[in-house]
Amino acid sequence: MNRRFALMIDPLAEGVDRSDYGDTLTAVDAAAPALSVGELSTQRGDGVFESIGVIDGHAQEVVPHLERLAHSAQLCDLPAPNLAQWRQAIDQAASRCADGEAVIKLILSRGVEHGPTPTAWVTAAPASDFSRMRAEGVRVVTLDRGYDLGAAERAPWLLLGAKTLSYAVNMAALREAHRRGADDAIFLSSDGFVLEAPTASLILRFGDRFVTPAPTGGILHGTTQLSVYEHLSARGFVVGYERIPASDLPRADAAWLVSSVRLAAAITAIDGASLPVDQVLTDELNAYLLSPRD
Ligand code: PLP
């Protein structure tokens, strides 16, 4: 697939059980206008999304992505997505992807202002080339996220922990990281704990123990991090979710940013201080993440 592919979904309620949802999925010209000007995803960023990696036409970690879509929808008071219907849309999009790496996006928006239903669509497109980041790693800076760890529970309307379409803040954080001479950022809570990157989860290694921030503090539960943990557990390593103080970062024996399309990139420096890099393990993780997984 050299071009984008797009499929509009006529969303069915959760629990409507059919053997075929084909008549609710409409392929549209991805280069042509498809959304109404009253669409709340574009007016207010009011919706949720997922980005799924596709390897040689195989969509990776579909179930965790669908579960997170449903979780995000719930946090945003959107109607629960019919996951069997979305699964069929993903299969259809994946079948249009050529060999190599691609990305499928799922978008569920609140729809058109005063309209009857959410708007839902799926796109597929070739993935950007992340081979250099996987091979050479990334320099990161820490940035204040502006919330303490309790904010997600105390103020659920902030939608922390939902993968909403409002990524302007995440993109601004990346620009700030670039201004500071780094490739990426790690958000810290205002009370000094490690959270996540603007578009990735963080995994740290201390000896033979691997830790990632607990996804209760208003961060996303990464599907790639889950896969990496499966692999590391099978290799006999201890893996866990913890509250990680920012002061632990320089003590890490290695660290990675992981996400569905970039996969694993070793962190080479944090705030200008070098971090040890285990490129052999990084290559192993990426080989695993590039193998077909459900
Ligand atoms: N955290 C944030 C804020 C993200 O945007 C992403 C992915 O886009 C992740 C974590 C990693 O999630 P996944 O591994 O499911 O791609």
Residue 190, number of CB atoms within 10 A of its CB = 12
Query: Model confidence over 9-39: pLDDT tens digits?
Result: 999 999 999 999 999 999 999 999 999 999 9
Cα of 20 from ligand 1 centre, angstroms = 30
Task: Answer yes or no: is pLDDT of 2 > 80.
Answer: no
Domains located in the chain, CATH noted: 5-126 (3.30.470.10), 131-289 (3.20.10.10)
The pLDDT of 267-286, averaged and rounded, is: 98
Q: Pairing between strand 263-270 and 138-144?
A: parallel
Query: Model confidence over 162-216: pLDDT tens digits?
Result: 999 999 999 999 999 999 999 999 999 999 999 999 999 999 999 999 999 999 8
Pocket of ligand 1 (CB under 6 A): 51, 196, 198-201, 220, 222-225, 258-260
Q: Using alpha carbons, select from 133, 174, 115 the residue that is nearest to residue 268.
A: 133
CA-to-CA distance for 290 and 293, rounded, in angstroms? 8
Report which protein residue has its CA nearest ligand 1's atom 8. Answer: 199
Atom of ligand 1 nearest to the CA of 224: 14
Answer whether 213's CB lies under 8 Å from 258's CB.
no
Report which protein residue has its CA nearest ligand 1's atom 9. Answer: 200
Cα of 18 from ligand 1 centre, angstroms = 31
Query: Model confidence over 207-249: pLDDT tens digits?
Result: 999 999 999 879 999 999 999 999 999 999 999 999 999 999 9
